[in-house]
Chain A
């Protein structure tokens, strides 16, 4: 990446991207854990997130990230792995948007056109480079946070603390498993691993602020979900949308439209970022024109998403927690540790 963005811009994109994951989570990922456990597991996520990202920071501290290198096989393999991960996550992000649009926004309408439109717009945004995406993220991060705060303030009257549950009622294992699932769904760790060499400023400090803020926001969202919906959240496909639709303000019967807006905005930025990263990594590693990779990536994304669109069985098969966990583990800690070990071995052989 010739152009660099600041740490604030970078983590603003990641914050919106992570908020999207929380807003779009469905209870099938939660191993049936109860309301209080859902809040508590954000702490496990926080710890796991730091642990798996440590090798990446260690690698960048020593300025040994192979992505900065344009020659050799390893950067090519690394670029391919990251591109595959980003492609997979863009498929699941678009598919989930499709599921949301087809279930909540336009239940009677075929949303394939909408999905195609989103992909085309995201590919276009990606072709303009990382700076416009970063600037948009900075511009939108405060309104998005204020919108969420507004929704939650209007839900205060509907909170019932009796909806909370005893901690670890079904044991600790489901809570740990849920938090590992959540870590697996956090493509932002892979984005950090792939983009860190190209971020200006103190990215380590930025990372800690980002992970703390996103953990706090996630915990707050789950707190409101637990106290407002209780067990009812397990009956909903998108519980966060449901609590927003229950928020009442003045003559507005529900504030679901705000969540819909935030959701589409975050999805747009996230998909644009993922397409941009795929095209950038592949074009730099293999010397192909970036615009060509962007178009190919968008076409492939459209084909896969149209195949998955409107079919819950296919969506469930594609949106697998296990596949996501493996991909994140391989692309974040395993790849960074392997690179660190290879460098050490090479150094020892030279000496």
Chain B
């Protein structure tokens, strides 16, 4: 019995090894995708830009530098058809397991991005943690402009977006988070905007605010200051700095830690959203003479200015999102869904109306933990 089993196992192993598909796993036969740019054409077809690792770079025997990355622009009726068409061009299978970012072109953002993301959810290789970003041009143009011989554009984008924990002016969203938000009633979500610029003739990438989508389509753009407020509103602000003007000049606080507690109350005739922003801060720059030892009242005054500034910015953003654009980009309606399901069910089809009529109470509390190298005199 044991011998028979061993022989059978050996036969199956050999069968698996000679399987035709086993040869496809050779790295040089694969297009290892690092980033994907998606544009929509006038006829509804897609242009997909793939940034892939040059897997044949190792054969560089002459010493001449070969590009690290390949940039490939593909067309197809669907996103998947466009990506798969790479195979017919160079015989390489595109592999999405190393994909870092999906870049949405401007026209696609205007027409609606959700159908184009379906492939990335169904594809077993693509991670749900892949970052989503938008550009204010064609995604294919963005990749062309941002590429150079030694840079991996997609990795740079990912690096920038992942700084959102340390820089509140940068927002970020993963495929999983975006799809989650898109499934809520009257859904809105946001996507960071990135742009390319030249630094000593070398292309560089930077974050440029946020774009808000309502029901999958472009609704409005937020600048960097508004992005900071959005991060506060969404409880995504962690560290960063806030600068503000005082009566005697400009000052800045450095945020050590921030937390936003959001709650909804429906005891009155309309929902009230309470947004409490708790910030632990360091005084990064005071409005006094350089190195001046701050008094208790000066610290308190700076703290007050900081609180006012954050509060005013967040309130301005709420006005823009909920009254002007009727877009629940901060996902506050989820609080109604969780705490007042009956109210939510009753107004599911007119959620933006309810959100516009709601009251928003913003409270900011800054706790000054440090004041630089001085101590309070």
Point out residues on A near B: beta carbons under 8 Å: 103-104, 106-110, 113-114, 116-117, 120-121, 123-124, 127, 162-166, 169, 229-232, 234-236, 242, 245-246, 248, 253-254, 291
Contacts and interface: CB of A to CB of B under 8 A. Distances in A.
B127 A245 contact: yes
Nearest to B178: A232
Contact of A230 (B2, B24, B124, B180): B180
B220 interface: no
A40 to B, nearest CB: 14
B146 to A, nearest CB: 23
13 contacts: A110-B19, A113-B19, A114-B16, A117-B9, A117-B12, A117-B13, A124-B5, A127-B1, A162-B334, A166-B338, A169-B341, A231-B184, A254-B129
A235 B179 contact: yes
B127 A164 contact: no
Nearest to A111: B16
A116 B13 CA distance: 10
B63 to A, nearest CB: 31
Interface of B: 1-2, 5, 8-9, 12-13, 15-16, 19, 21-22, 24, 93, 121, 124-125, 127-129, 176, 179-180, 183-184, 331, 334-335, 337-339, 341, 345
A232 B12 contact: no
Contacts of A165: 337-338
A269 to B, nearest CB: 18
Q: Which 8 A-B pairs have the closest CB atoms?
A: A231-B183, A166-B341, A230-B180, A113-B16, A109-B21, A117-B12, A124-B5, A232-B176
A36 to B, nearest CB: 9
Contacts of B2: 124
A291 B1 contact: yes
Given A120-B9, A229-B176, A232-B128, A164 B19 contact: no
A37 B353 CA distance: 29
A234 B121 CA distance: 11
Contacts of A232: 128, 176, 179-180, 183
A109 B331 CA distance: 41
B125 to A, nearest CB: 7
B180 A163 contact: yes
Contacts of A253: 127, 129
A277 B22 CA distance: 36
Contacts of B127: 245-246, 253-254
Nearest to B5: A124
Nearest to B6: A124
A246 B334 contact: no
Nearest to A294: B1
A107 B5 contact: no
A245 B21 contact: no
Contacts of A291: 1
A246 B128 contact: yes
Contact of A120 (B5, B339, B345): B5
A235 B49 CA distance: 25
A162 B12 contact: no
A316 to B, nearest CB: 17
Contact of A113 (B15, B335, B339): B15
A164 B13 contact: no
A164 B335 CA distance: 10
B24 to A, nearest CB: 6
Contacts of B184: 231
Contacts of A242: 128
**Residue from B9, B124, B179, B337 whose CB has the most chain A CB atoms within 10 Å:** B124
A124 B129 CA distance: 41
A246 B129 contact: yes
Contacts of A245: 127-128
A246 B337 CA distance: 26
Contacts of A104: 124
A136 to B, nearest CB: 17
A109 B19 contact: yes
A107 B21 CA distance: 10
Contact of B176 (A124, A164, A246): A246
Nearest to A229: B176
A230 B187 CA distance: 15
A253 B19 CA distance: 29
Nearest to A241: B124
A236 B183 CA distance: 14
Given A107-B124, A162-B331, A230-B180, A117 B21 contact: no
A201 B34 CA distance: 57
A164 B180 CA distance: 11
A109 B16 CA distance: 10
B129 to A, nearest CB: 5
With a 10 A CB-CB cut-off, give which of B12, B335, B339 has the most chain A CB atoms: B12
Given A245-B128, A253-B129, 12 more contacts: A110-B21, A114-B16, A117-B9, A165-B338, A232-B180, A232-B183, A235-B179, A246-B128, A246-B129, A248-B129, A253-B127, A254-B129
Given A231-B183, A235-B179, A117 B16 contact: yes
Nearest to B180: A230
Nearest to B93: A108
B189 to A, nearest CB: 12
A140 B318 CA distance: 53
A10 B127 CA distance: 38
Contact of B12 (A113, A163, A231): A113
B179 A231 contact: yes
A121 B9 contact: yes
A108 B124 CA distance: 11
B178 to A, nearest CB: 9
Nearest to B332: A162
Given A113-B15, A114-B16, A166-B341, A108 B179 contact: no
